Amino acid sequence: MSNEFAIDNVWIGIIVVAILFAICYFIGWWASKMTTSEEDFYAAGFKIGPVTNGLSMAATWASLATFLGVIALISKLQVPFVYLWIQWAISIPLLTLLYGTSLRRMKAFTPATFIKARYGKGATITIVLWMILIMIMYALGQMIGLGQAFEMLFGIPYNVALIVSGIATVGFITMGGMYGASYNAAFQMIIMTVAMIVPMGAIMKAMGSSGWWFPPLAYGDMVPAMLKVLPTFFDMKYDVRWYFALIPAFTLGPVALPHLAMRVFTSSSVKNARWAVVWFVLFLGLLFAGTYTSGFAGNYFVATTGKTIAKADQTLLILNVFYNPMWVAAFVMGGALAAGLSTVGGNLMAISGLVGNDLLGILAPKMEAKSRIRWGFVALGMGGVIAVLLAFKPPKFLVTSILWAFGLLASTATPGILLGVWWKEANKLALIVSANICGLIFIIISPHVFPSIVIGKGATAALGMSGGLVTVPLSFALFIFLSLIFNRMPALSAWAPSLADKQVIDRIHGWGDYDENRYNGKVWPVVLALVCLLISFWGLQPWKF
């Protein structure tokens, strides 16, 4: 893979990467000494304070795509992609509100811990397998980005860069468990924010903006010049349905992302989880606003200088090479690496928890905690190795495969978690059937597997937006109707929620007693299911974009 950008002096890149990894390994080693139990390994002992957790949440969410893929897509889709990115920030506040604090109350390690308590083994295996698939796809995207970042820093072939970065990354993440992942992510968030914002100030100054002192919001004076050369930049381009389609795939998908939920679960208390969310929004907002500025500056650069950026993924780096000293460009690459490392850390911890705690808890219930942790380490390492192996043939846009996976998660896991927490009628068999049917439909109607059977077109279909508008509401509707039917069929009584299953719901909401009438309505779930069916039908209509 050829580059438009490579640091001339390889030693600058080596020094930046060596310092970054040395600190990550030190934190991993220091954290490993604190890891003595399953609670420590999977949930950092439930001891992470609000500010550190807010930083960790933001770092886990802000992937390498924030530095590479997003800016490329802003260059391609312009402002609509900014709107798409803004709504990511809802994910952790919404999951905290809808189920995060309830599951933190029960000291869950992953969302599947709750699925197991609420729905039993069959449904847990179904959801865990979907989640692992999505986590591997997610980690794959990060590994590709890390390989590309090493390639750009050192000018070495992509495959070699991938192996070196993969081994180095999996090593320190495996060492530190969730303590290491949490403190490393907090450190990495600071690095990536500084790397995104400060050099951008210098770029804006060089571009002639008086708002260089606060790059995230003060580049308004560049707008007239931008509009002169690129009048369509701020056009909203798409119709209401396109914007509405962001909700099922991109808002409801991330709500069920296990590595985000696990960050909420590491909080030192239920109340601190909510305060961590406030810090998360502050830190993530700052970084994301910097990303939008970079996307704007990239378009501005192309429009005003007449230069072309063939590899849009490298826009931020090219801007830095053009306007800033080489060591600054290397530091920005360090920030991009930090973004990838923190997300991979979260992905691999999620795979580890899903396999080591949830799956092994079902397949080998008598296994000792110590052995389960050991298997958790193995799963963590194996998840990394699989992601590296899959990354040898990268997709065109780094970010596309990750975004598509969100729709898959929303079609399979989100209804089970949300309805499981809020509705006692939610049936075990109904979850298995609806999750698998809608997951498979989502895959079939996307352009990636059967290009001849596609709902929607172009980027809208490739990103899973049109498919998600069909299958996510369908999954909710199917789950609700099947639950109501299955619960009333004597032959399927074994799949109906037991008293113990229903007691879990009252307990995780903080009740001291049990009341059969709580969270047990029929009318509103049916109304919700009917609305979902209408939305799904809307998604089936021909797409203009």
Which stretches of the chain bind other proteins, using CB under 8 A? 46, 79, 82-83, 86-87, 89-90, 93-94, 97-98, 101, 105-108, 217-224, 234, 236, 238-240, 243-244, 246-247, 251, 269-271, 274-275, 277-278, 281-282, 285-286, 288-289, 292, 507-513, 515, 518
Q: For other proteins, give the closer residue by CB, 275 or 377.
A: 275
Q: How far is the CB of 170 from other proteins (least distance, A)?
A: 30
Measure the N-to-C terminal CA separation of the chain; round to a whole number of Å. Answer: 31
Residue 263's H or E segment, with its range, is helix 258-265
- Fill in the DSSP letter of residue 62: S
Closest distance to other proteins from the beta carbon of 506 (Å) = 9
Q: How many CA atoms lie within 13 A of 479 on its CB side?
A: 34
Q: With respect to other proteins, which residue has the nearer C-beta, 79 or 302?
A: 79
Nearest-angstrom CA–CA distance, 23 and 471: 44
Rounded to the nearest whole angstrom, what is the least distance from the CB of residue 401 to other proteins in the complex? 23
**Helix intervals (H) in 307-424:** 315-323, 326-352, 360-363, 369-390, 400-412, 414-422
Please, which residue, 193 or 251, has the CB nearer to other proteins?
251
CB neighbours (10 Å) of residue 127?
Answer: 30
Find the helix packing angle between 258-265 and 326-352, rounded to 10°.
80
| Residue with Cβ nearer other proteins (153 or 222) | 222
SS3 48: strand
Tokens of residue 130, six digits: 């979907």
Nearest approach, Cβ of residue 245 and other proteins (Å) = 10
| Least CB distance to other proteins at residue 418 (A) | 11
271/488 with CB nearer other proteins: 271
d(CA 24, CA 27): 5
Handedness of CA 488, 494, 500, 504 (dihedral sign): negative
H-type helices in 33-157, by residue range? 38-43, 50-61, 69-77, 79-86, 91-95, 101-105, 111-119, 121-154
70 in Cβ contact with 85 (< 8 Å): yes
Residue 353 to residue 360: CA distance in whole angstroms? 10
Question: Taking the complex as a whole, how short is the minimal distance between the CB of residue 40 and other proteins, in angstroms?
Answer: 15
Taking the least distance from each CB to other proteins, the nearer of 12 and 79 is 79
Rounded to the nearest whole angstrom, what is the least distance from the CB of residue 39 to other proteins in the complex?
A: 10
Nearer to other proteins, 211 or 381 (CB): 211
Closer CB to other proteins, 3 or 520, in the complex:
520
Helices 258-265 + 121-154 axis angle, to 10? 100
Report the SS3 class of residue 267: strand
User: For other proteins, which is the closer residue by CB, 101 or 174?
Assistant: 101
Q: What is the DSSP string of 275-298?
A: HHHHHHHHHHHHHHHHHHHHHHHH
Identify which of residues 220 and 458 has a Cβ nearer to other proteins in the complex: 220
CB 430, min distance to other proteins, A: 23
Q: CA torsion sign, 153 to 149 to 191 to 378?
A: negative
Rounded Cα gap, residues 186 and 487, in angstroms: 46
Least distance CB 227 / other proteins (angstroms): 9
- What the block records as the tokens of 150 is 């090493």
86 versus 362: smaller Cβ distance to other proteins = 86
Q: Which is nearer to other proteins, 228 or 307 (CB)?
A: 228
Instruction: State the DSSP H helix or E strand holding residue 165, giving kind and residue range, or none if neither.
Output: helix 158-207
Question: What does the alpha-carbon distance between residue 43 and residue 37 come to, in Å, rounded to a whole number?
Answer: 10
Nearest approach, Cβ of residue 364 and other proteins (Å): 22
Nearest CA to 82 out of 290, 276, 247 is that of: 290
